[in-house]
Amino acid sequence: MLVSFKTLLFAITAISFCTFIALFGRLPAFRDTPIGSLHRLLLIHIPSFLRSVDYRFCGGHVSPALARLGNYLMHDKHPLVLIMFIGLLVVSECMFIPKAWPRLGSGHRLLVPLVATPPYIYIYLAATSNASRITASNHAAQMRAYPYDHVLYKPGIQCRTCKLLKPARSKHCSICKACVAKHDHHCIWVNNCLGRDNYVHFIYLLISVTVLLCYGAYLGYALLSQRLKTEISRPSGQHWSTGMAWSLYFQYWSWALSQEIRIGAVGLLAFMCMPLSGGFLIYHIYLIWAGMTTNESSKWADWREAIYDGLVLKASKTQSGQSRSNEAVESEVKWPVSSDQLLIHRSVLEVQDEGEGTGDKWKPIYSLAEVENIYDLGFWDNLHDVFWNRR
């Protein structure tokens, strides 16, 4: 029994860890960390090694098919991951709730449907909302949503696919084949882009799933512990594991899991998935606090590296003569913060200097702290922007 318990624990831990690496390893915060290295190993180096093995022993017949499958899974709009996500929720709840229900008190019987239902609601809302997509009919309104900061976003740039001027904070999604207002990222879990309108549903989804996992893990522990309490005689008031050696402790848990396999397996899965959902939630709370989207965090990371390498210069729009040059394509935006800053890469300035002699107006900067993020209004105002500035 102990072997089966260890095997199940190892399998769930391995799946959770690989999922964590695949999802979080690409984030800028982990770019130069062991997590980023493992992400590259998992998604770049191992596939490259397998391709070389295929070409050596199979003549390269397997790799193209796998590459097409991988390209479809990662770069085409399909519901497979969404179906898997919903299926995992449904199957886990169908395994757990019928077995647990007769042993739950009235309070838990009230809480179970209240905790289990919200994820489905927010999956539906996040997956079906298309209001963040920029079209000819809503383009003018989206142009007035946010000002250009002249760092991450510059006016007058046309989307090569949609043939529309790109509003500040927007991005074209090659999977959804549309420009998305305040683009955060394309989420495979809901098979949709998260933007100005539906990002709030994604936040609620993370909250509801995290609560569901915590509650499921707690109920699993409580019910298994309840079973062990009935099997192990202890003096009144003592926990069943009091004074027990660790080896015996895990043997008892293995026995309980073998007796309550459905409750134990789902509870253990919920416990191991809590860091994934909780980590996502904490990361997005951080992004809101910092006044960034996931897309913008990557852009800021690129600027940070360029600044570290001494390749970035800063000037004011007034000094550079660009303060009024783009009014024709910059809509008037009611935004509480404005900035006179401009950033430029040294290589771009060198090209300009050849004909304009503008180099004396630009000064080197040495830290990203010297650059103002006009989209960061402070945590509470950032929250207001996420939850209520959606149209």
Contact 347, 252 (CB under 8 A): no
b/e sequence 79-103, b meaning 16+ C-beta within 10 Å: eeebeebbeebeebbebbbeebeee
Helix (H) or strand (E) holding 143: helix 139-143
187 is catalytic: yes
Torsion of CA 292, 293, 299, 303, to 10 degrees: 10
Count of CB atoms within 10 A of residue 234's CB?
13
Instruction: List the catalytic residue out of 176, 179, 187, 193.
Output: 187
- Provide the total of helices (H) and of strands (E) in the chain, helices listed first: 15, 7
The beta strand positions in 133-270, using DSSP E, are 171-173, 178-180, 185-187, 192-194
Q: What is the largest CA-CA distance in the chain?
A: 89
Cα dihedral 101, 104, 108, 111, rounded to 10, equals 0
User: Do residues 220 and 270 make contact, with C-beta atoms less than 8 angstroms apart?
Assistant: yes
Q: What does the alpha-carbon distance between residue 10 and residue 6 come to, in Å, rounded to a whole number?
A: 6
Helical pair 261-290 and 199-231, crossing angle rounded to 10 deg: 150
Phi-psi region of 60 (alpha: psi -120 to 50; beta: other; left: phi over 0): left
**Kind and range of the H or E element at 315?**
strand 312-316
Query: Taking a C-beta distance cutoff of 8 angstroms, is the pair 186, 175 a contact?
Result: yes
For the record, the structure tokens of 161 come out as 């696919």
**Unique residue bearing structure tokens 């006016």:** 155
Nearest to 365 by CA among 339, 340, 344: 344
Active site residues: 187
